[in-house]
A and B are shown apart, each in its own frame.
Chain A
Amino acid sequence: MKLSRKIGVRHLSRVEGHGNIDIDIKDGKLVSANWQVVEAPRFFEAMMRGKSWQAVPMLSGRICGICSIGHTLCSIRAVERAFGFEPSAQTMRLRLLLKHMETLQSHVLHVCFLAAPDFLGEGSVLPLVEKSPVVVEIALRLKQLANDACDLVGGRRLHPTTIVPGGFTMLPDKRELESIRARLNDSLKDLESIAGLLSGFTIPAFTRETEFVSLKGEDSYPFIGGDLLSSDGVVKKEEQYLEMTNEYKVEQSTSKWSRLSRESFAVGALARMNNNFDLLHPGAREVAHTLGLKPLCHNPFMNNVAQIVECVHVALDSIRLIDEHLGAAGNSAREDIEPREGSGIGAVEVPRGILYHSYSFGEDGRISDCNMVIPTSQNHANIQHDLVALVEKYAAEKGDSELELMASMLVRAYDPCISCSVH
């Protein structure tokens, strides 16, 4: 093994968007290790100015191709809070169900299709179609269930159509919901198989003490709105999100970075789980226990495991939500909403972590000011610091290809959504 070497990955594969890894090692010691984001920015905040409250959720969903439902829900929450509107219990229930199904879809896509090939020694899921057809079949079945449920509740799996400020344009058909409920019940076995697969993976024994930021659950595992919490003990109101995110610009990235109590912090499934473990469904906690995941876990590679634990949680909680919905008296799908001058902030836990949309509206219901803080941009600084620590730890003992793979796996573990982060 050469003691001095350079490792470069241009446009890292199996992540959403464009990022590069650059590692420089001299005499077996780290000189530099950099996580660079080179994605072309889109300027969503600037282009939202002047847009009407009806157009804003539809447009802001287009920030992301994976978590468009999360962006739309977050946008709707900001609009409704700006106008002082409280959604009905029925609307909240169905929105959470939709949110859950996006979480399931996104986590299964990431763990099974983007991350798993690394642990199985492949460059993609394609060779696994022949080598492990059962696993691929299970993963596809889970993803399809989640996507079908998103179609049913949200109108479309990508860039949803039915969710609007005030509620839904149309409610899901009850019989179809029953069929989704039956499939969710069956999915628990599939999730058990995926958990079994994960338990066979060799997760790198790498830890770096990290601050974790998420919503703060009160009586349930948090997804939509509420107080903000960091594992270092910071608690803020949703409205104080700027004090939680502290964005700044760095040269190595077209995305902004964030910090709180330390040089960086992490958001996402691992952060949510670390901060709200006791609020997970008992069935999900059991899976966490089986997979050796317990708070506070400082190993970023365990985010993959946390995502599967969350899959079990959202599947079980979705069954409860559907039962509640089917048992409740039906209300109107959509309530009237009156635009007014004002500001509103929405915080929503999307698959990759906590997302914020903040809008100010003029009297005419059009945006005068807009800010959005994306989970992956909050994670970039933490990825950078993890990368340095990872290379420091393994520089002397791992060969080029092994080190390149570990660095790539580290970035992938965060499930970055780079296009989102340069919205």
Chain B
Amino acid sequence: MTGEQSTYLGIQLIRPRVAFMEFTSCEGCQLQVLNNESTLLRFLSLIEIADFREAVTERSDDYDIAFVEGSITRQDELERLKLVRRNAKTLVAMGSCACFGGVNQLKNRFRDQAGVIRYVYGDHTMDTMEAVPVEAIVPVDLRIFGCPINKDEMERTVVSLVLGLKPVVPDAPVCMECKASENICLFELGQPCLGPVTRCGCGAWCTSRRSRCWGCRGPVDKPNMPLMKEVMEQHGFGDRTFDEMLSCFGGFTAQERKEESKA
């Protein structure tokens, strides 16, 4: 798309060449980009699309920024990702699958991985490996958290990159945004919630609709896990519920691994 050249403080902006691509995922984070109808055309005028297979037939490997969705679960994906890393000046991991392994890493918890394949495909062989985040394979420059990503946050990130600024990643729990929205605490309504330890930036998306936080954005930099566990227990939610909630998107699982390696 051509269109008028955007300016900032009178200075003409250079439209970066952007690629959107997906590995093992639902492709929902890319769709979130298209889901922002009211600002979509203005957003697109900021960038030049080099590759967006889900929406555009023309493709090029000449790009500055790669937005990568999905976790890595196969050898061919690993090779493709390394190529993307070589092509892109900036690689952005987009969404929980790319940042932490996402829901896909739930299959890693089974000791018998052959059994996982057998359960779905019977005696047929199927190429797959443990689901890992993008940063397990190549260095990542930026991360946009969430399942799904919040489209405003996505747009803010792109605008920052276009302006040459470093995007700000908030380091406060969802509780902060939830309180600011004047919601009743879900614990008061008898529901468990990971809001106290999950990184904000979503605008308390789920809890504002009285739906518990499942921790899709992963933990804040220093989550108080012992106190979180205590709060859960006080409200009658045992280890099984707590562990299940922590395990869903991989953010807390990764945190645990980091803690273990420190110890």
Contact = CB atoms under 8 A, between A and B. Distances in A.
Interface string B109-138: 110000111011110101010000000000
B24 interface: yes
A16 B120 contact: no
A184 to B, nearest CB: 16
Nearest to B149: A158
A170 interface: yes
Contacts of B148: 65, 156, 158-159
Given A40-B128, A62-B147, A159 B209 contact: no
B106 interface: yes
Given A47-B103, A59-B106, A144 B128 contact: no
A281 to B, nearest CB: 25
Interface in B224-249: 241, 244-245, 248
A43 B117 contact: yes
Interface string B85-124: 0000000000000000011101101100001110111101
Contacts of B106: 47, 59
Contact of A14 (B28, B54, B209, B248): B54
B179 interface: no
Contacts of B57: 13-14, 117, 123-124
B205 A161 contact: yes
Interface stretch (B34-42, B158-166, B253-261): B34-42
B209 A68 contact: no
A13 B31 contact: no
A134 interface: no
Interface string A47-58: 101011001001
A25 interface: no
A40 B77 contact: yes
B249 to A, nearest CB: 9
Interface stretch (A125-133, A186-194, A339-347): A125-133
A419 interface: yes
Interface residues of A, number: 58
Contact of B110 (A46, A127, A157): A46
Contact of A45 (B74, B115, B119): B119
Given A13-B59, A46-B119, A170-B210, A65 B53 contact: no
Interface string B16-40: 0000000111111111101101101
Interface string A143-187: 110010000000111110110100001100000000000000000
A157 B30 CA distance: 13
Interface centre among A11, A17, A113, A126 (most CB of B within 10 A): A126
A123 B210 contact: no
B99 to A, nearest CB: 14
A52 B53 CA distance: 36
A284 interface: no
B23 A169 contact: no
A293 B86 CA distance: 50
A254 interface: yes
B126 A254 contact: yes
B31 A158 contact: yes
A41 interface: yes
20 contacts: A13-B54, A13-B56, A13-B59, A42-B73, A47-B103, A47-B110, A52-B241, A55-B214, A55-B245, A55-B248, A62-B28, A62-B103, A117-B57, A129-B1, A140-B37, A158-B31, A159-B147, A159-B148, A254-B126, A256-B121
